[in-house]
Every structure is written in C-alpha cells, then in structure tokens.
Chain A
C-alpha cells in the first residue's frame, strides 16, 4: 500500500471516529435535555425486572493437591485429598411487569480423603488423613424472586441442601432503596438457616449421632456512583451461629490421645466488604477491586484482597485475569496438638482454623454469540484458578503452620443462553 493510500485511509478512519463521537455527543445532549422535561424521565426504575428469560449450566472440576510427603504422618493411609465435580443449573425469568424469579440447582459429587487429625511427631505436627475414600453427593435447590418499585426492590429466597449425612434449609429476604437520582443505594437483608447433621459411621467411630445448628444473619450496605466510570460499595454482614459447630469427622490429639473436635456452641461473625468497580474506556476494560475485613469471637481475623481485570476483546469476547490474597489468624482454641486438655475443653486441629495466608490466581475467557438463531444470545466461558495456602504467606508471622494446608485447582466451563 502506498504511503498516500495509507494516509488517506487513516484520515478517513479518523474522520469516521470524529463523526461517531460528534453523533454520540449530539445524541447524549438531546436525550439528556429531553429527560429533564416533565414526565419524560419518569418510569425508569432503579433496577428493573429481567426483560427476558435466561438459563445457564456450569460444570466445575475441583482438584486438591495431594498432601506433601513431608507433612504426612508415619502410617498415614493416603495422601490423596478432595476432588469435586460440580454442576450448576440456573434459570431466571421475568414473572410480572414488576417482578422476576429464579431457580438454582447445584449437584456435587465429592470423592477423596480429608484431614482427620494431626499427630505430634517428635514435636512436629504431621497430618493423618481419613482412610477410606469418601464418596458423597450434595444437592442444593434455591428459589428466589424480586419485586420492583420505582426506586426500590424487595427480594426473597428459600432453599434446601441435602447430602448423605446432612440436611439444611434456609430463608432469606433483602431490599434496596435508591436516592439521589439513583446514585446512592441502601441495601439490607436478613437470613436464617437450619442445619441437621447425622454423621456417617457414627457408632463405629464414636461420633455424635445427630446434631443441629442455626444461623442468623443480617447485612446492610451502601453503594455510591462516583462518576460515569466508577462505583463503590461498602457493606457489613453479621452472622450468629448457634448449635453444634464442631466437625464430627475430625479429632484432636490431646496428651497423646485422640479426642473429638470440640468447638464452642456459639460463634459471632462480622465481615466488612468494600468493593470498587472502574471502567477504562480507552482500553475497553474494567477493574474490580474487593477488600474484606473479617473477625469473629473465636479470635479469627482475616483480610481478603481480590482484583480482577475484565478485558473486552473485539466486542464479542472477554479475557479476565484475577488475583486473590487471603490471610487469616488462628482461632483462639486452635492448636495442631495439645499437651493437655484446655480448661474450657475446646480443641480443634482443623487447618481451617489455623493461621495462614493464601494466594490464588486465575484467568477466564468468555465469548458471546448474539442474535442466533433469532433474538437468542449465547455466552460460552472457560476458566481456571489455582489456590495455594502457606503459613509464610500470612500477614503476621506464623511460627508453626498446620500440616493440612491445602492447594487446589478449579476448572470451570459455562454455557449461558438468553431467550
């Protein structure tokens, strides 16, 4: 291509972009002024009901890394950990002019071994896994709906969850209200759950036969539009857990002998989450930043920082790299093993209550197909995330990390259709 042809092509492209910018600015100016007229901007709702039904199916494969040889106790039956195949089915649809409904069904198949107890091997904690391979299935169902007012929304949900050894049902309700030209939104909600656990092989292993726990939660949040390109939200969530909160499948070594995992029958939890979303027009991408501060009355405190970059490509695809940093302190009564029984009797060697940090990173790709065959839109996505927990990653120095810390890979694919 000659220099001249190239230049005139560039000039024409520039002129085209100028025209598009001018055209859009004209349109924006006209629509903006039109909306200021009485009765013209009315009817626009803060959030509106879904306009069309859509459905999606996701498949995820979760695979934990085997326990490192150096962390396993002598005589440990298997170093294999968990593998989960997860199916998620979702259906949502407008119901009336002011409402919509949704149905979520999740089915999981879990196999593998999980940490059982930690042995004191010459002063160093070593993990013993459960022997027999677990094979469990979990099915969840949730129905939810929303009702929309001019500047507000009300939602409710009800769900159940069943597993071989477990049954739970839950209820939730939430609402939100917008102010300030819909730039500020206040939201709040409550939730209740009732769980019953009947551990398998209870008699054989001397486990409790049946136990219950209840969860009562409440949250309140405030979101604010900062400008055309950014928005932020901060929210507080509180949950009261009441009942049997121990893990019936875990033991703790106390003075050389194994005793059942025993945690307090009450736990108060508070999480403070702040989120920020910002769009970068020139590169057609959006930044997601989330920070969560958590603490509870078991003395666990944690920090979570998540970042994701939503990069649009060619108008029909997206590439989303993401990163997550997590750090938690230990529960007050946690210890890999105990020399003697603590005064209050609470013991747990569960790595999930130990101090550690974790880094996760991943990437997801999405592609969209619109208007095929007629007015149907499709999105296909695939992603992968890798997570690794380590005592050295924690914010505060960890003197003895749990031998049971986990690393995993999570692979996902999803197909979504809007009709």
Chain B
C-alpha cells in the first residue's frame, strides 16, 4: 500500500501534519484548502495579532456598546456557553486573563492578591451574550479562544479534505488529531498516546478510523515550586492550577468535543476525573498522579514503542 502524502507545517504554536491518501492533484488541492482554513482560524482568533477578531473583542471590553460577531463566532460562543454550563464552570473561555498572574518560566508563584484582582474579570456568566451581540462588561476582560479553536480547526481541516474529495487521511494539529478516514485497506490509524512521566514512551496505541482524539497532560508546561508541581491548566473558578489527573485522552466524533472533555476532566480531582470520564461514555484514557492508568482505552496499552506524535500539552 502506498504511503500517504505528508504535509508538515507550523500553526497555532505547534507542529502540525496532514497525512492524505488520494491522487496527487486532489491531495494537493485538499492540503491547500485545509491549510488555508487552519491559517484563517489562526488569524481570526489569535490573541497575538492586532487585526484579529479577538483583539477587536478585547477592545470592546468595558465600552458598553458590545460587538457584533459573525455566525461562526456566534456558534463557537454558543458552544462555549454550553460547555461552561454543563461542566459546572470548569470550561471557561474568560479565564485567559490568569495568564497575567502565572509566569511559567519564572518558577515563582503569583504575588499575593494578584489572583484575587483577576477573579472579578473571570466568569462566562459575567458576559452578556445575545446572539449576535456580545458584551464584555468590564475593561480588561478577555476571551481566550485558544482553548478550543485548535481542536475546531482540526475538525474543519478534516472537513476541507473531505469536501475536496479526499476520504482517507489524518489531520494532526499539535497532537489534536482528526481522522478523515482509515487507510485505503480499511485499517485504522494507530495513534500513540504519550506517557506523561516518560515522554519517549507511548502509554497506549489507539485505533482511529474516523472521529478524533484530543489529549491533555501536565508535564510539558507548568512548573515546580518548592517541590510542588503546578500544572499550567488553571481552574477558572479559583485561579489556581488544577490538581487532577496527570494526563487525559478522549476519543469523540469531533476533535472539538474530545478536547473539551479532556480539559474538563483535567479540572476534576483524580478520583472524580475517573468517574466523570466513565460517565461520559466516550473511549478515554486517564493517567492519575500516582501513575495508575484507567479508562476504556487502557486495554490498548503498549509496552515500549515510541509514540507516533506527542499529545498536546
């Protein structure tokens, strides 16, 4: 069987790759279309660019006039609202401001009062969202799309490839994977999930024919202070890092949903995270701080081969 065409690029701060099967012309057109879509989303929701929609939203904070958003952003906001509501506030796209208190490279905890000063700016319920108009009532409030646009982009990229006539392939945006379709012989993509404590090892091999997988782990970013590990995944309700599982991977029909599920799971205490993931009914893997591995995918544990791709941090 001929190997797929591979397209490597960098987007949304991560190494990305498309693996596509099909006639060369069609594959090239699909890759171009997918790439354009990823770049479009990157530019639109980037918090680093002055001309992005995110910048415009932040500029409108505290002005009282609000900002009218396009249908795609409106649907993303509806999604974020549903996720916020159903996750008990754990998934919250207004929590980006906590970045101002936490400096992961410094090795220092936030100064006294820094978190307390930021908490009034956090809380999805503090927004006024009446489709298609959005109000950020207080100056300094921010919306961070980074927490889910990468997974959404993976789904959109897979969709672009399908629309271009490529029915078999894999989209990998920095460890958030969306399968377009299985290998031409019908076999599934074998995805290695990295062991959080031993990054060169794969914890399990997951088979993906269609659908997507997203992962979250506490090992790549975050910091150690006085012998205590502080995860970079912050709980919007307290402003402090989650004390949850070491890593979570979830398989779902959409990468967007898989990603939200992993984020929410990481914000539960370890035992509660296990129960939450079981209750979801999706195939998943959960690594607890004590090293134990649970979840319906743990049956696919692998011993020793290097991971296909690093999961997103």
Give chain A's interface residues, CB within 8 Å of chain B: 19-20, 22-27, 29-34, 36-40, 42-43, 97
Question: What residues of A have a CB within 8 angstroms of the CB of B87 in the complex?
Answer: 26
Given A19-B279, A22-B279 in contact, is the A33-B162 Cβ separation under 8 Å?
Answer: no
- Are B282 and A30 touching (Cβ within 8 A)? no
Which chain B residues lie closer than 8 Å to A27 at the CB level?
A: 257, 261, 280-282
B280 contacts A36, C-beta separation under 8 Å: no
Q: How far is the CB of A263 from chain B (nearest CB, A)?
A: 55
Q: Say whether chain B's binding surface is mostly helix, strand, loop, or mixed.
A: helix
Task: Indicate if the CB atoms of B253 and A31 lie closer than 8 Å.
Answer: yes
Residues of B within 8 A of A40 (CB): 155-156, 159, 254, 256
Residues from chain B with Cβ under 8 Å of A43 in the complex: 159, 162
Given contacts A20-B279, A31-B257, A32-B82, 12 further A-B contacts (CB under 8 A): A22-B279, A23-B276, A24-B280, A27-B282, A30-B79, A30-B83, A30-B86, A30-B257, A33-B81, A36-B78, A39-B155, A40-B155
Residue in chain A with minimal CB distance to B151: A34
Known A-B contacts A39-B156, A40-B155, A43-B162; the reply to A34 vs B256 at CB < 8 A is yes
Report how far A26 CA is from B260 CA in the complex, Å: 10
Residue of A nearest to B277 (CB): A23
Using A20-B279, A27-B280 as known contacts, say yes or no to A33 and B79 having CB atoms under 8 A apart. yes
- Given A19-B275, A37-B76, A37-B79: A26 in contact with B86 (beta carbons within 8 A): yes
A29 touches B86 (CB 8 A): yes
How many positions in chain B have a CB within 8 Å of any CB in the partner chain?
A: 35
Which of chain A's residues has its CB closest to B83's CB?
A30
- Who on chain B is nearest to A43 by CB? B162
Bound complex: CA A58 to CA B156 (Å): 46
Which of B71, B253, B254 lies in contact with A38, CB distance below 8 A?
B71
A39 to B72, alpha carbons, bound, how many Å? 10
Q: How far is the CB of A175 from chain B (nearest CB, A)?
A: 24
Q: Which of A24, A30, A97 has the most CB of B within 10 A?
A: A30
Nearest CB of B to A167, in Å: 41
Whether B275 pairs with A34 at a CB distance below 8 angstroms is: no
B75 touches A37 (CB 8 A): yes
Give residues of chain B (243-260) contacting chain A, Cβ–Cβ below 8 Å: 252-254, 256-257, 260
Secondary structure of the A side of the interface? helix
Query: In the complex the two chains form, is B86's CB within 8 Å of A25's CB?
Result: yes
Given A24-B281, A37-B75, does the pair A30, B260 have CB atoms closer than 8 Å?
yes
Contacts of A25 in B (CB 8 A): 86
* Chain A positions within 8 Å of B21 at CB level: none
Those of B152-192 within 8 Å (CB) of chain A: 152, 155-156, 159-160, 162-163, 167
Q: Judge whether A39 and B276 touch: CB under 8 Å.
A: no
* B39 CB within 8 Å of chain A: no
25 pairs from A and B in contact (CB 8 Å cutoff): A20-B281, A22-B279, A23-B279, A24-B279, A26-B264, A27-B257, A27-B280, A29-B83, A29-B85, A30-B83, A30-B86, A30-B260, A30-B261, A31-B254, A33-B81, A33-B82, A34-B155, A34-B254, A34-B256, A37-B79, A37-B152, A38-B72, A40-B254, A43-B159, A97-B167
Whose C-beta in chain B lies nearest to the C-beta of A19? B279
Which residues from A are CB-within-8-Å of B155? 34, 39-40
A32 to B78, CA, bound (A): 10
Q: What A residues does B278 contact at CB under 8 A?
A: 19, 23
Q: Mark B255-297, 1 if CB is under 8 A from A, else 0.
A: 0110011001000000000011011111000000000000000
Contact of A37 with B253 in the complex, beta carbons under 8 Å: no
Contacts of A23 in B (CB 8 A): 276, 278-281
* Closest Cβ–Cβ distance, residue B108 to chain A (whole Å): 36
Contact between B276 and A19, CB atoms less than 8 A apart = yes
A281 → chain B closest CB, angstroms? 16
Q: With A and B bound together, what is the CA distance between A37 and B149 in angstroms?
A: 12
Q: List the A residue with the shortest CB-CB distance to B76.
A: A37
Residues of A within 8 A of B159 (CB): 39-40, 42-43
Contact B86 A36 (CB under 8 A): no
A30 B82 Cβ-Cβ under 8 A = yes
What residue of chain B has the Cβ atom nearest to residue A36's Cβ?
B75
The docked-state distance in angstroms from the alpha carbon of A29 to that of B280 is: 12
Interface string of B85-117 (1 = CB under 8 A from A): 111000000000000000000000000000000
A38 touches B167 (CB 8 A): no
A34 x B257 contact (CB < 8 A): yes
- Collect the chain A residues with CB atoms within 8 Å of residue B282's CB: 27
Which residues on the B side are within 8 Å of A20 (C-beta)? 279, 281
Chain B residue nearest to A37 (CB atoms) is B75
Nearest B residue to A31, CB-CB: B257
Q: Which residue on A lies nearest to B159, using beta carbons?
A: A39
- Expressed in whole angstroms, the minimum distance between the Cβ of A99 and any Cβ of chain B is 14
Given contacts A25-B86, A26-B87, A29-B86, contact A38 B276 (CB under 8 A): no
What is the CA–CA distance of A43 and B156 in the complex, to the nearest angstrom?
A: 12
